[in-house]
């Protein structure tokens, strides 16, 4: 998707509103959180969004993440919706704080049942083993968990599914959610009790040092202060290398393949439109 500069500016304003809601809930309940990935890089290098970025990433240690999901049931503002596998038809192993009355719909989300408003990603952090073999086993279990819970997503790739996956999707969703929770309990370790941590997401098991997140420091992002890993320099260097160096111009682009974006209209209005109303779908 080619962003209109004014629309991108407005989307960033809505995302910042959601980030401030996350901060409010965390500070009220003593929950640890950190700016992460491109959002942290933007805070350090630009004191705000990377100019061409289109989303916000937040991380929380595993126990804080689970507590955040629980307290949102009572503390979240009416404008927002916490999306995870327990609250929506959404099976990814992380949460999103969605903004009601808005739209930010991916190309392959048009016919899915889940909320597709503008979002902030919330990734849980888990302790990982020093053994590459054990890390790979964890990665494989995460992949099966996603297969179990994301049948709406995989249905769009129906021709690629094998018989075992089709059979798994015939299980009741409630049962699949229980199995998914059991996989979480088996694989998720407290990162503060392990020398290294990573994201709870298939293929993103990059060993990162727990010492970096044992405490936090404030960093400026779009005129507000948010928490960042205490050793954000070591984190950014591990992930991005020479992170203060701007990438070549041809690499300065967003990474989401979006179908519809609207700060004022609810995603349900777009979902009600026929596929023929979206040129991007006709190109697939």
Instruction: Provide the pLDDT confidence category of residue 206 given band limits of 50, 70 and 90.
Output: confident
pLDDT of residue 275: 87
The mean per-residue pLDDT over the stretch 89-100 comes to: 92
Work out the number of other CB atoms within 10 angstroms of the CB of residue 109.
22
User: Which of the two residues, 216 and 111, has the higher pLDDT score?
Assistant: 216
Quote the distance between the C-alpha of residue 274 and its chain's center: 28
What is the token pair recorded at 138? 């964890």
> For residue range 38-89, what is the model confidence (pLDDT) as tens digits?
999 999 999 999 999 999 999 999 999 999 999 999 999 999 999 998 999 8
pLDDT of res. 133? 85
Question: Using 50, 70 and 90 to split pLDDT, how confident is the model at 282?
Answer: low
pLDDT surpasses 80 at 151 = no
Q: Using an 8 Å Cβ cutoff, are 116 and 266 in contact?
A: no
Q: Looking at per-residue confidence, does 242 or 150 come out higher? A: 242
Report how far residue 156's alpha carbon sits from residue 106's, in angstroms, rounded to the nearest whole number. Answer: 13
pLDDT score at 69: 96
pLDDT tier, 189 (very low <50, low <70, confident <90, very high otherwise): confident
For residue 19, pLDDT beyond 60: yes
Q: What is the pLDDT of residue 273?
A: 93
- 204, pLDDT greater than 80: no
Domain ranges, ordered by start, for the chain:
5-273
Q: CA-to-CA distance for 266 and 54, rounded, in angstroms?
A: 19
Q: Please give the pLDDT value at position 205.
A: 61
**d(C-alpha 12, C-alpha 44), whole Å:** 17
In 29-118, the DSSP E strands lie at 34-35, 57-61, 80-83, 95-99, 103-106
Whole-number pLDDT of residue 20: 98
In this predicted structure, which of 77-86, 105-114, 197-206 has the lowest mean pLDDT? 197-206
Q: pLDDT averaged over the chain? A: 89
Report which of residues 204 and 158 the model is more confident about.
204
Q: Does the structure show a pLDDT above 70 at 155?
A: no
Kindly tell me if the per-residue pLDDT of 161 is higher than 90.
Answer: no
């Amino acid at each position: 998707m080619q962003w209109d500069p004014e629309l991108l500016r407005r989307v960033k304003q809505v995302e910042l509103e959601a980030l401030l809601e996350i901060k409010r809930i965390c500070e009220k309940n003593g929950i640890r959180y950190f700016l992460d990935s491109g959002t942290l890089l933007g805070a350090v290098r630009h004191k705000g969004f990377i100019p061409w970025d289109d989303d916000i990433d937040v991380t929380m240690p595993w126990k804080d993440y689970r507590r955040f999901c629980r307290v949102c049931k009572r503390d979240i503002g009416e404008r927002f919706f916490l999306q995870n596998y327990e609250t929506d038809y959404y099976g990814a192993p992380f949460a999103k704080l969605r903004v009601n009355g808005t739209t930010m719909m991916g190309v392959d989300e048009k016919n899915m049942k889940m909320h597709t408003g503008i979002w902030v990603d919330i990734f849980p952090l888990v302790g990982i083993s020093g053994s590459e073999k054990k890390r790979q086993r964890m990665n494989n279990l995460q992949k099966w968990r996603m297969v179990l819970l994301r049948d709406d997503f995989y249905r769009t790739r129906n021709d690629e599914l094998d018989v075992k996956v089709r059979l798994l999707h015939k299980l009741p969703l409630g049962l699949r959610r229980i199995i998914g929770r059991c996989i979480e309990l088996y694989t998720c370790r407290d990162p503060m009790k392990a020398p290294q941590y990573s994201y709870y997401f298939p293929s993103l098991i990059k060993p990162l040092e727990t010492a970096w997140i044992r405490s936090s420091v404030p960093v400026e992002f779009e005129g507000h202060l948010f928490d960042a890993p205490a050793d954000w320099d070591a984190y950014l260097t591990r992930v991005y290398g020479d992170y203060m160096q701007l990438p070549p111009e041809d690499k300065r682009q967003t990474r989401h393949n979006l179908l519809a974006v609207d700060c004022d209209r609810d995603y349900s209005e777009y979902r009600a439109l026929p596929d023929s109303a979206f040129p991007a779908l006709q190109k697939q």
